[in-house]
Amino acid sequence: MNNFELYNPVNYVFGKGQIEKLTHLIAPNTKVLLTYGGGSIFKNGIYNQVKQALSHVQIIEFGGIEANPHYETLMKAVEVVQKENIQFILAVGGGSVIDGTKFISAAVHFEGDPVEILQKRILITDTTKVIPFGTVLTLPATGSEMNSGSVVTIAATQEKLSFGGSALFPKFSIVDPTVIESLPQKQLQNGVVDAFTHVMEQYLTYTHDALLQDRIAESILQTLIDIGPSVVEKPTDYKLASNFVWCCTMALNGLIQKGVPSDWATHMIGHELTALYNIDHARTLAIIGPNLYKVMFDTKKDKLAQYGRRVWNLSGNTEDVAEEAIEKTINFFHHMGMKTKLSENTDEYQNTAEFIANRFQERGWLALGEKQNITPDKVREIVELSY
Ligand code: NZQ
Ligand code: ZN
């Protein structure tokens, strides 16, 4: 097992009716910026619940944070925080609102041009230089409620870039599984596939000695396979909802990543597809993931076989089980409503592989993946295979 440090200071507040705990989680008289997205919180009653619990603080609102949040929008919120002397930010939303809030938090006191946080991937580690924030999660998928990472799009250049650092963990996150009742089916499907792929990024590498991490990863995958299709059909079922939400958080709160190699190339390529064609994040992963496993088969086949045997109960020789495991994954994604070819998601796909490979080359992203053997040429091959 590799050496590791495990640091996760998030006060994770889980369960029905927990939004009312906001009253105790934010100190009286704090000046709070409440950030939210396009308005779903007004339709499903979450806004009212939040406001009710926050009668003891002073609130300024900043709405309109779009899905795949834009740097340009977030900089407007940075101005509000500076002008109004905001002391705390409360993000009420899904991954986009939470990620956007992490950027706002980091940008307010950033010395230099905040766009560098994204372009130079600055690590944000000084807690005295960020605005503290908490979250009320409304869409389980990203794990952003319990991690310190964020992904922001620069609209002007169509670049979707990730950043983060230990100063960007939420102070608390309220996770009430009943919030999923108002989610459109498409977003529920996205949540399952995003969480599934988060596990795969940290699990589907090569065989190693971290036995417990593998077993935890496999059990998250199995749980998502078990409950994924039914939670989409019945989001009002609390047993399904609570397990789904917990899987999403556990998939990317850092725990299963400790002591093991990880990949993340599916996400890096997928982010390009969102930046270029505005395809939902999870849907880009369903397009790229299985093709990456195919192109990187030699590197990954032993782990694919372990995955096939333990998660899909397959048997046979390594190569056959590994190949069948990829097919099982694609079938599962189809079952979860994904269209796994790029051409089914956009008509403009023809030059995508070349464009992304060149972009990675320019950025110096020359060696991705757990073995650093996903070169721009491999990226081109993976994207071409996904057409
Ligand atoms: O904007 P509103 O009106 O709130 O509507 C949202 C949005 O349109 C809606 N929604 C959210 N909660 C709802 C709801 N609708 C009805 N009822 C509710 N309870 O859902 C839509 C999508 O929301 P969004 O926040 O964009 O989805 P998600 O949580 O999937 O976040 C995706 C973003 O997170 C990034 C992705 O790249 C993408 O930008 N990721 C962040 C990660 C992280 N911080 O660790 C890791 C992930 O891999 C991912 O990259
Ligand atoms: Zn993701």
Q: Residue 103 belongs to a domain with what CATH number?
A: 3.40.50.1970
What does the H/E/C string look like for 110-175? Answer: CCCCCHHHHHCCCECCCHHHCCCEEEEECCCCCCHHHCCEEEEEEHHHCEEEEEECHHHCCCEEEE
Residues 171 and 212 in one domain: no
Looking at the fold, whether 154 and 220 belong to one and the same domain comes out as no
- Sign of the Cα torsion 72, 73, 79, 81 reads negative
Q: Tell me what pLDDT residue 55 has.
A: 94
How many Å lie between the centroid of ligand 2 and the Cα of residue 273?
13
Range of the domain at 369: 184-385
Ligand 1: residue of 139, 148, 272 to mutate (most ligand atoms within 8 A of CB) is 139
Indicate if ligand 1 lies below 6 Å from the C-beta of 382.
no
H helices of the chain, in order, are 22-25, 40-43, 46-53, 71-84, 95-107, 115-119, 185-203, 211-233, 238-251, 265-277, 281-295, 297-312, 318-335, 352-363, 376-385
Structure ipTM: 0.99
- 5 domain residue, yes or no: no
Same domain (yes/no): 189, 168 = no
Q: Is the CB of 67 under 6 A from ligand 1?
A: yes
Ligand 1 atom nearest 252 alpha carbon:
45
80 with 96, same domain: the answer is yes
Looking at 145, 162, 179, the residue that finishes a domain is 179
> How many independent structural domains does the chain possess?
2
Is 38 touching ligand 1 by the criterion CB < 6 Å?
Answer: yes
Ligand 2: centre distance to CA 314 (Å): 27
- Mean per-residue pLDDT pooled into runs of 10, the chain (387 residues): 98 98 97 98 98 97 98 98 98 98 98 97 97 98 98 96 98 98 98 98 98 98 98 98 98 98 98 96 98 98 98 98 98 98 96 98 97 98 98
Distance 67 CA to ligand 1 centre (A): 6
| Burial of 256 (C-beta count, 10 Å sphere; 0-12/13-18/19+) | buried
pLDDT of 128 reads 97
Is position 3 within any domain? no
Residue 247 lies in a domain: yes
Res 330: pLDDT? 98
For the CA of 190, the nearest atom of ligand 1? 30
Contacts of 141 (CB under 8 A, 6+ apart): 94, 95, 187, 190, 191, 194, 195, 248, 281, 282
DSSP-derived 3-state class of residue 224: helix
Quick one: 204 and 85 in the same domain? no
CATH number of the domain within which 246 lies: 1.20.1090.10
- Please tell me whether residues 333 and 210 are part of one structural domain: yes
243 within some domain: yes
- Give domain status of residue 166, yes or no: yes
Atom 9, ligand 1: which residue's CA is nearest? 40
204 DSSP assignment: S
3-state secondary structure of 37: coil
Residue 264: per-residue pLDDT: 98
Pick the last residue of a domain from 179, 205, 231. Answer: 179
Substitution candidate for ligand 1 out of 44, 96, 146, 266 with most atoms within 8 A of CB: 96
Q: Tell me phi and psi for residue 206, to 5 degrees.
A: -135, 165
Task: Compute the C-alpha angle 114/360/300, nearest 5°.
Answer: 120
Q: Are 60 and 86 spatial neighbours (Cβ–Cβ below 8 Å)?
A: yes
Q: What is the mean pLDDT of the chain?
A: 98
**What whole-number distance in Å separates Cα of residue 223 and Cα of residue 33?**
36
Sheet holding 133-137, edge to edge: 11-14, 172-175, 133-137, 88-93, 31-35, 58-62
**What pLDDT sits at residue 68?**
96
Q: 94 in ligand 1 pocket by Cβ < 6 Å?
A: yes
| 214 & 95 share domain | no
Given 179, 207, 241, which residue is the final one in a domain?
Answer: 179
* 237 and 174 assigned to the same domain: no
Tell me if 313 is assigned to some domain: yes
Residues 107, 138 within the same domain: yes
pLDDT for 236: 98
**102 Cα nearest atom in ligand 1:** 44
Closest CA to 248 of 145, 371, 125: 145
Same domain? For 348 and 219 the reply is: yes
203: CA distance to ligand 1 center in Å? 23
Q: Is 49 in the pocket of ligand 1 (CB under 6 A)?
A: no
Same-domain check for residues 203 and 323? yes
Looking at the structure, tell me whether residues 226 and 148 fall in a common domain.
Answer: no
Residue 139 Cβ < 6 Å to ligand 1: yes
Q: Is the pTM of this model over 0.90?
A: yes
**pLDDT the model gives residue 36:** 98
Minimum CA distance residue for ligand 1 atom 38: 68
| Tokens (6 digits) for 101 | 């809030």
Is residue 215 one of the residues assigned to a domain? yes
CA of 333 from ligand 1 middle (Å) equals 19
Task: Please identify every residue whose CB atom is under 5 Å from ligand 2, which is an ion.
Answer: 194
Tokens describing residue 329: 């994954």
What tokens appear for 125 in the block?
């580690």
In a domain, 1, yes or no: no
Q: Is the CB of 380 under 6 A from ligand 1?
A: no
Nearest protein Cα to ligand 1, atom 7: 67
Give me the pLDDT at residue 5, please: 97
For residue 140, the ligand 1 atom closest to its alpha carbon is 29
